[in-house]
Structures are given as C-alpha cells and as structure tokens.
Structure 1
Amino acid sequence: MFLSQLTIKNFRQFGAADPLFSIEFREGVTALVGENDAGKTAVIDAIRHALTTRDMEFMRVQPEDFHIRTDGQQATEITIRARLSGLTDGEKGAFAEYLTYEGAEVALYVHWFARRLSETPGSRRWVDITVRSGPAGEGPPFDATVRQLLATAYLRPLRDAEREMSPGRGSRLSQILNNFPEIKKGQPFDPTSPPADAAQAANLSLSGLSDYLRHLVDQHEGIGGAQKAINTDYLAHLSLAGEALHGRISFAEGGTDTARLRQILERLELDLLAGPDGRSRGTYGLGSNNLLFMACELLLLGKEPDGLPLLLIEEPEAHLHPQRQLRLMEFLEAAAEPLAEGTRRQVQVIVTSHSPNLTSKIPLQNLVLLHRRGAYSMAEGHTHLSKSDYRFLQRFLDVTKANLFFARGLIVVEGDGEALLVPTLARLIGRDLTQHGVSIVNVGGTGLRRYARILQRQDPAKGVFAIPTACLADMDVMPDCAPRILELVTDDADPKWTSPRRKWRIKREFGATPADRQAGLQAKRVRLSEGDGQNVRTFVADEWTLEYDLAFAGLAEEVYIAAVLAANDDPLNDDKKTHADVKAAAKLDYAALVVQAAGDREVLCSHVYEMFSSKRASKSIAGQHLAELLSEQARTGEIDGAWLSARLPAYIREAVAFATTSLAPAVVPLAPTA
C-alpha cells in the first residue's frame, strides 16, 4: 500500500480554483523541489493532517491554514483527500468497509474535512474536523484504530535527532522499538529456576531480563545490607504498636507487562559507535545523529507487518555535508526498492528539498517541481524530454545545473565564458540576476536544447512553467575574412576549403547575393530556435560567437584587453607583471590593429578573436577579466549602464531582459502525474 494521490482545497496557498491542486506520487522516492513558499511544506502538512503521524503529535488547525483568496476573503472549509493504492489482500481485508472499487483497481480514500465554526480559535470548538472514506467523503468515518494503521513516519526540518533518540518518557526510540516485532519475543523469568549462564539469560524477554536483574539486585550484598539497615535501625523504631513499617529497595517500575516493557524501552538510548568493535567515539554532530534517526524510522517501516510504510522527510539535507547528502539519497533509494518477500517491506519516501546537491542525485523522473501553486512531474510523458534526453541528463545533470529547479528565471549558456560574464553584464545594465532570482545553467557546449526541454510540458493545456528560460546559442558563422586571419586557410585555392573535416562556415556560403545570404542566415537562426515554445526562447548570436559579437557590437578594445590579460594570467598571479603594464601594452597593440583594419569592423574583430583561436587566451579567464574590467570602469564612473547597454549585442540584451521579466502562468495547472 502506498500514497498515490493527494488533492488539496482551501489549505494555505492552495485555493478552490477548478481544477484543484493535485499531485500523484511514486511507490519509491518522490522529491518535492522548488523555491521558498512554493507549497512543499503545505503538501507534507496536508498528508500529516489526513493520515496522522506515528509520533501521535497533535496537529492543531490554525486560522492561517484556511486559504485567503486574492479578494481578501478567507475560506471557511478545508478539504484534503488522500488516495492509497496497491493494497495487498491482507490490507484489503483490514480496510474492507472503507474501500472504493474503481473497475479492476481497489483504492482506499481518506477524506479529511475541516469546517470553521467560530472566528475565535480560543473558543471550545472553533473548528469541526471529520475524516471519512470514499472519494467524496461519502463512505463511513474512520475509527481511531484504523487511522493508526495509516499513520506516517515524519521527520521535521531542523530536527533534534539527539533528543529524539534520548531516553525518557514517550521517547521516539521507545516508540520505534515497541513496534518492532522481535522486541516482545523471549521467555519470562522464573525465580525458582534462574538462568545458569549467559546463553540461558539471552533467551529471556526484555521483561524477563528486567525481572532477572531485579532478582540479582535483591541478592546483592550492598542492597541487602542497606535494606536491612533501613528496616531494623530506622523503620522498626518509627512503627506504632500493631503496625510494622517495612521498606524494599527495588526498580521503579510496575504495572502490566505492557507498561513494564514500555518503561524498559524508555530507559534505552541509541548512540553511534566508532566502529563495529563497539568503541564509543563520544559526542557526534547533528548530521550523524540525523542519519541514525532516519535509519531507525526506516527500520521500523520495513519490519512492521502492517500499516502504511510511508516516511515523510522535510529537508533531509539538514546538517549534512554534500558527500553525506549524496550517500543519504542512495540509501533512501535503496530503502524504497522492492525486495524479496519475507525480508522487509518496500518503503515509500517523500522528501522536500532546497538542495541542488541532493536534487542532482535523485533521478529526474522522481522529481516533482512545485511552482505557482501547481505540481509538475518530471517523469516521462509529462515533459518534452525523450528517453535519450533522460539518459543524457542522468549523466550530466550535476549540482550546478540542478539549481534550475529553484530559480524564477533561467539563462542556459554553452560555455564558461558566458557563465562568468553574463551575470556581470546583467548587473551593470540594471538587471541583476541574483535580485531577480535568475540562475545561469552552463551546459558545457553540449545539450543546450536537452536542458531547455526539462521546463517544457508535454500537454500545455495542463499548465506551463512561468519560468522564463533564455537559451544563448552561438551563430557559429565566421565573417568571410576570418579564415585567413585565423590561419585556417592560406588562400581561396587552399584544399582545406573542400576538406570533409572542415567544421566552420563563412557568410558567403549562405548565398551568392546579400539578400540570399541574409535569408540563409535567417534560416539557420530559425533552425537553432526550433525547440522554442511555452516560456523557453533561444537567443542566437547576431554574428558568430560571444567574444566576436561583443567586439563587433562595440566592446572590441575591452575584449582585446581582457584577452591579453588572460594570456598573461599566470605572470599576473605570480606578480611578475602588473595589470597596469599589461593593459597599457594591450591598448597600444589594439591601436595598431585598428590601423591595420583600415575601418573594416569584421577584420578588426577577427583579429581580436584571433587571441582565442590561437589558444593564447582562455575564453573563461578572459570572461573573468572582462567582467572585472567593466565593473571597475563602472565603479570609477568611466562607463554607466546606458553606455554598456548600447554596446552589447542585441541577443544578450534581449535574453537578459526576457529572463528577468516575471511571467504570469499561461493557464491554471491541472493535476500532474509523478
């Protein structure tokens, strides 16, 4: 049995708009991701209300739980519906009167309904809550014992795992152990025939061991002597005629066998050891204790013969360093895998996370992105991704790229140069990406379109992401003069022109006349943008590639100086040269290039780009130097945003403007499938 669907109406940020917010879950691990206030915690709390939790913590409905509409009116009713699927024959028998038969499938619906009776939460009954079965709550109400079988295990964010595992009345460890089937096995203690050795003692139950220990304590010389002294030296002298006060030193436990077992378990604590040899390492940190806590909860869920094996974890990355996060995700996935019958049950795990590190480890198909009060599954059939895209992204969707799931806007770039430079350019023209919640995703030259398709829905009628996604693509067409300047060919008769290995093209190859050439280049731009749609747009370089286009648009001198600085990066870092000297020499060399170009901008910018083509300068290092150069000029007042904006390639300006513009949802999202 597993939670397959959750539908919410008028709970916190989820209102009553038709269709209602609905989310479907997988049998194994499902990760809810998205920016703050997207509704991740609301989903978890809705599950807790509908199904309750194993720690039996009472969740009080608060006034702010009732949805407030845009017109300021607050709802008076909340409906949460959980659908449970995959019931075994035994579970069907246990819930027989509550089941719903849907063709060949049998489901169990939990319909949680809260109605506001008073405006004063402090009144005796300000809210009325009913929990019934059936898709619309038309079935019989659940009794307390049945609801306990549906209780989930819940780990709150920023949890104090050390306290949860500590001994004490009602400790979580005692609750876990009390539900562990093997904990109650063993023989009772017979005082007329005490164990002869440790092997016989090991056959006793926990209650039997406690009785055996009491028996041994009673026989202890020190305890016996103290007890005798109390009785003979004190109580005997304090007794009145006809009464005999008599004391006994014993363990403070009693009552029924169940109560005694609970008292024993409440004295136990769980500690981490340095290794299997049993050596204690002392105090562990929050992260290690949290791993211990999760292991205990999964142990109980996997070993219990009945009940709902569902674990809810908010922010499992809390207190864990990145490598631990990755290990934890592998562990949770393994715990959620189906196993051979008789070993342990398959556990369903639902996590919420803000961690790109953790998100990059979770298979894309197991992610559900919460955005603008909608839930969007990343599973096959719900995105534009093909099977090969999923395989590709499984290999290359790393930590830095996984931040796309937490952004309000995206700029997808092909290289390090763009990744380093675009944020600075955006900030200097008044479009700070950080302030707008825009992330840069650097795909490293491959898979630009694959990453864009993550945020495109297979059926737009069910809702699209209001996340503007700008893809920056190089035109990759040289000016006619570039091959000779870059020494790719010597002249028009060079056989390299017809070589099948030639991967570069020049403008004149796109048409004999200027009009034909323009049409051919435009056709290429259209091909590069073929995957556009919904809120994904491709912005193609106006001329060739980023560095050339920056120079061509008006930053030729700045790009050249940055390239020279990049070529001298090691001597600069080793203090063998100064920035001032390198810049001064670069300006002189650039002035000579201007004279050599004789007013031909394509020739000048091709000579500037030759710094990168010849491998003298790294594009990424040059991008960093150019960002620092422009920032310094802006700080000293040499340039301003208007000056820079007028000298940026149009496609850069347009991409930044698009990514930093807040979009309204095109349609209200329908229920997705995870």
Structure 2
Amino acid sequence: MYISELKLWNFRKYGGDDFDLTKPHIIVPFKKGMNVLIGENDSGKTAIIDAIKYVLKTNAYETIRIQQDDFYNDKEHLRIELLIDDVTDSEASNFTEIISPRKGVALASLKLVLDVVRKDGHIQAYEVKGGNDADGHSLTPLMKDNLRITYLKPLRDAENELTAKKNSRLSQILQSHELLKQNSNGEKHDLIKIIEEANAEVEAWFEDDTGGDASHKKLIKGVIDKFLKMFISDDAESQFLLANPTMKSILERLAISVIDSKNLGLGTLNRLFMATELLHLKKKGDNLKVCLIEELEAHIHPQAQMKVISALLQEDRVQFILTTHSPNITSKVKLGKDNDVNSILMCNSNNVFPMGLGYTKLEKKDYKYLDTFLDVTKSNLFFAKGVILVEGWAEEILIPVIAEKMGIDLTQHEVSVVNVGSTAYLHFARIFMRKVAPEMEVKCAIVTDLDVRQDTANKTQVEKDKRDSIDRKIGKPLPANITLCLAKEWTLEWCLFKSPVLSELFKDSVAEVHSKTTEFKKDAATHRYKDSFDTKLSEKLKNRSLDKTAIALALSEKIEESTLDFNQQDEYIKYLLNAIRFVVS
C-alpha cells in the first residue's frame, strides 16, 4: 500500500473563500516510489509534508497537533484527506472496519480524514477517522501503529540524535524493532543477559578488596561509600553498572558511529543518521512503508547527494516523499511518465504541478529525452521564477550581459538561462505547459534561430514556411506563461552582424577570434571592415567553422565595457530583448 493522493481544504497557504467537499483547494497525486517536491522557498512543500504527518503520525512518537497558523487566513474549518491505494488482502486485515473497494481497481483502498474546526479562536477536539462513511470510524491503536511513517526533518542535528542519552532518537528507533522487543515466552532478552553478565563483572572489579589499602574497593568504591553514608544514611551503598538491565535503559546507553572513522563531519553524521532512521522501513509486517524527508541535501555535498538519492531509488518497496532545493537530486529522478514509480511535483503559486504524463503537454518521447539530458545544470529550471531556453553557449553567455545593460539583473529576478544544446527546446518548454488549468506562473521564453540561410532560393517564402512550421510544432496558441522569441534571420551570429547596436562590436570580436582570416581584417586605408566580411561570415556559418563560443565571450566583454543603449529600435536583436523582458515581467 502507498499514499496515492492528498487533498487539502483551507490548510496553510492552500485555501479559498468556499468550503466544498467536492472541490478541494489542492489535490496532490503521488506515485509508488520516489516523489520529489520542488520549488522556491515558501512555495508550500513543507505544508504538504506536515499535512501527511498530521494524519499518519511518525515512528518517532512525537507530539504533532494542529496549530492556529495551520488554518488558511482567518478560516475556521480545515480538512485533510489521504487516500492509500493498493492495499493487499494481508494489509487490509488490519483495517477491516475502514477498508473499501474502489471501482475498477483490483486492490482495496483506505481513506483517512482529519477534519478540524475552531470556534472563537479555540481549536475544537478532533481525531483522524477512516472509511468512506459520512462520519467515518475512529482508528484503533493497532491501525495507528500500522500507519505510522518515518520522517526525517530538515537541518538534522545528527550528532545530538545519535549520542547515548535519555530518550535518544537512536534508542527510540531501536525500541520499535521486533528484534529488540521482550520475548513473548517471558524469557529474558539476550541483550539483557549480556548486560547483566557485564554488570556483574564490572561490579566485581570495583568490589575487589584484594591488595589492602591499594585495592579497587578501598581506593574508589570505599571513598564514595564513606561520603554516601554521611550524605544519605549508614546503609547507603554505591553500585557500578554499565546500564540498568532493562531494554530501554540499555538502548539509551548505546551510540552509533562509522567503523574506523574519527571526528565525523556533519555530512557523514547526517548520512549515518538517515541510514539509522531508515531502519523503520525494513520492519516486518503489513505496515505502511512511507518515508518523508525534508531537504535531503542538508549538510551533504553534491556528489554525496547523488549517492544517497541513487540508493533510495533502489528501495522499490518503500514510498519516498521528499522536498529539495537541490538540482543534483532533481536530476536523478525521472519526471514521472506513465507506469514509472518516480515523480517530480513542482510547487508554485499556491498550486502543485505534477510533471507526469496526463498533467503536462510533455509527450512520451519528451520524457525519454529529458530523463537522459535533464542534467544538474538544466535541472535548475525547476527552481527558477523565469526560464530562458537557448540553443547554445553563445546565447547563454550573451543574454545575461545584455540584460545587465538593460538594467535587469537576471539573478535578482531568479531567472535561469538554460542551454539545451540544440533545437530540442520543445522537450524542455513543455514542462511548463499544462493540459488542464491552472497554468503555471513560471515564465518561459524560448530563444531559437530561424535557420534559413541567406543564399536560400525564394528566401522570403522559405522563411514564412519555417515560421509556420515552428508555430505548428510548438502548438500555438501558447499559454500566457510561454513565449517564442524567434530570430529575425538565420542565426544569432547573423543577427548580431546586422544589428545596428551590436554590429561593430560583433565584427571586432570575430576579427579578434579569427585573427588569421584575411576577410575579417580591417582595410588599412579606411580602417573599415572589408565588403567580403559578410561573405566569409556566411561561409563559416554554413560549414560550422565559426568559433561561436569564443566570439560570444569576446563580445560579452566588449558589451560590459560599452555604454550601449538597448532601448533604441533594433529589429535584429529584438527577439533577445523581448525574451529578457518577458521573463521578468
């Protein structure tokens, strides 16, 4: 069994003016395996995690109660519903009073509801109920135990949690394991026997009276007992123990570390803590095996993040729901096409946008492409407020510099320029296109070349046909958050060459990079570039011998040092300026 759906009404930022049981304010679908909630800060990721915790509770047996600020704005009624699907016959035996079949689904389902009301500022008594009945049924202690989940909080204090102390997290984890429970036949647990034997040996050492005035008893225990009798009473006597021979006391004296490792850093301790906490997931029985992890990347360097997420992806019998700000982690998770068990869910503008097939306009071929090429660098698009998709390094280098000269800092606007490395922009753009409302508010500008050569026969008609073909391919009309910024002619470099604003700086950059090319040198008499410049540029563009990246770097330096005005009319670089203005509007 696994959590398949979460519905929220008036919970935290997910709310509205109406309260209609048929219209939740947010519906979050989950898949069986890895579910990754991504998005900027305060986008609602933690609210989703906490809603699940409120209903199911955790293996840490921590106190989790609805708070005043869990209610949306000034509303007096909130509701959380969880749907647990694929409940097998064996698992269903623990929930006979509340289990129910689902139409068209072979395995049974379990609906859990937390409905909370406050009156005059006071939160009324509430409880989690199960079943499809209007009022639902109370959960038995056995049901609650079988629904508890593992939860790893953000900014984990791993060193403190793993240290031996009263009620340590390590002792709580171990106490719930079946191997450390008292034997049903009443016989003492092996671990208790070991401690009792060790206690006896320790006590015998401190009681050793051989040696007279130099004995262990005389020098240590005798001194302590002398004072103890004066402090308490004549019959008071000390006793040295490793631990009281009870399971709780023994486990509270335990610490855990990594063999042959000294002075462990935060990253290693954090991974040790996660590995220990995940012991719950291997517990035998028909319990719900779900793990919530907030900010998996906390205190872990990028390569270690990749190792951890890769390991978790192999746990096919466990459902993970985690939040992250890490492109490294996001790049390892599949977007979530049909039949996959991995899924990315993007939190944005008080909504949750699943990336799976059926939600976006991504096609099956797009998923295959993105699962291969959506690397760490490109995955930062999931965390941006605006995205400019470009075809190559030249655009990626120049657009931020041009934006800066326009008085626009793309970093401050949280805009990512993503180089897709080819004309495969549609694979990435469809991430931001939804099949059903609402539309995403992340602005995405697609910057692409026209790719019609200057010497093409019937050039005007061919250009028109190419524009029409791109429009059909991209699926116009586009949603309001997507715009296509198409070069006026051929390529970026050709547009820069013809640009009234950038032409001279571009020519200087080409001449600097291709300094041995005669056609790119200035005439000695006129100090102007030769008429053959455009012919040679066209030739190098056609045979792909122009060093576009080096030219872009040279041009970017010249733009930074210039006093150019990008507000004047320039039809050749207008598409670049439009892209920049669109994503920050």
The structure 1 residue matched to 2:154, chosen from 157, 163, 167, is 157
1:7-406 paired onto structure 2 within 5 Å: 7-16=7-16, 18-68=23-73, 74-103=74-103, 104-119=106-121, 126-135=123-132, 138-184=135-181, 205-220=190-205, 222-223=207-208, 230=222, 245=235, 247=237, 249-251=239-241, 260-273=246-259, 280-335=260-315, 337=316, 346-365=317-336, 366-406=343-383
Overall identity of the aligned pairs, in %:
32
Shift of 1:390: 1.7
The normalised TM-score by structure 1 is: 0.76
The normalised TM-score by structure 2 is: 0.87
Provide the C-alpha distance between the structure 2 equivalents of 1:187 and 1:54, rounded to a whole number of angstroms. Answer: 22
Deviations along 1:199-218, whole A, 9 cap, x unmatched?
xxxx9711111111122234
Deviations along 1:127-184, whole A, 9 cap, x unmatched?
4333211347621122445323212111111111111111111111111111222234
CA contact (8 A) 2:449 2:490 kept: yes
Relative to structure 1, the CA distance from residue 162 to residue 177 in structure 2 (aligned partners, 3 Å threshold; closer, same or farther) is same
The structure 2 residue matched to 1:412, chosen from 389, 394, 408, is 389
CA contact (8 A) 2:488 2:572 kept: no
Shift of 1:527: 0.7
Provide the C-alpha distance between the structure 1 equivalents of 2:32 and 2:141, rounded to a whole number of angstroms. Answer: 26
Answer 1 or 2: higher relative contact order, Cα 8 Å, separation at least 6.
Answer: 1
Shift of 1:65: 1.9
Relative to structure 1, the CA distance from residue 318 to residue 372 in structure 2 (aligned partners, 3 Å threshold; closer, same or farther) is same
Task: Please tell me whether residue 468 in structure 1 is matched to residue 393 in structure 2.
Answer: no
Deviations along 1:358-410, whole A, 9 cap, x unmatched?
10111121211112222222222332223322222121111111111112221
CA contact (8 A) 2:33 2:313 kept: yes
Give 3-state SS (helix, strand or coil) of 2:358's partner.
coil
Deviations along 1:2-61, whole A, 9 cap, x unmatched?
111111111111004644201111111111111222211110111111111111222343
2:212 corresponds in structure 1 to none
Equivalent AA in structure 1 for residue 453 of structure 2: M
Provide the C-alpha distance between the structure 2 equivalents of 1:235 and 1:479, rounded to a whole number of angstroms. Answer: 102
Provide the C-alpha distance between the structure 2 equivalents of 1:296 and 1:237, rounded to a whole number of angstroms. Answer: 44
Shift of 1:188: 11
Provide the C-alpha distance between the structure 2 equivalents of 1:526 and 1:330, rounded to a whole number of angstroms. Answer: 43
Give 3-state SS (helix, strand or coil) of 1:109's partner.
strand
CA contact (8 A) 1:424 1:631 kept: yes
Relative to structure 1, the CA distance from residue 587 to residue 61 in structure 2 (aligned partners, 3 Å threshold; closer, same or farther) is farther
Provide the C-alpha distance between the structure 2 equivalents of 1:589 and 1:319, rounded to a whole number of angstroms. Answer: 61
1:647-662 paired onto structure 2 within 5 Å: 649-661=573-585
1:194 corresponds in structure 2 to none
Deviations along 1:412-451, whole A, 9 cap, x unmatched?
1111000100111122123432233221111112422211
CA contact (8 A) 2:87 2:107 kept: no
How big is the alpha-carbon RMSD for the aligned residues of Structure 1 and Structure 2? 3.3
Unaligned runs of 5+ in 1: 69-73, 120-124, 191-202, 274-279, 338-345, 481-505, 511-516, 570-584, 598-602, 662-674
Provide the C-alpha distance between the structure 1 equivalents of 2:255 and 2:581, rounded to a whole number of angstroms. Answer: 57
Give 3-state SS (helix, strand or coil) of 2:109's partner.
strand
Equivalent AA in structure 2 for residue 383 of structure 1: T
Equivalent AA in structure 2 for residue 367 of structure 1: I
Shift of 1:647: 6.8
Unaligned runs of 5+ in 2: 210-214, 337-342
2:454 corresponds in structure 1 to 479
CA contact (8 A) 1:118 1:127 kept: no
Aligned residues: 558
1:664 corresponds in structure 2 to none
CA contact (8 A) 1:227 1:247 kept: no
Task: Please tell me whether residue 545 in structure 1 is matched to residue 491 in structure 2.
Answer: yes
Task: Please tell me whether residue 525 in structure 1 is matched to residue 467 in structure 2.
Answer: yes
Shift of 1:245: 2.2
CA contact (8 A) 2:202 2:242 kept: no
CA contact (8 A) 1:111 1:135 kept: no
Shift of 1:62: 3.0
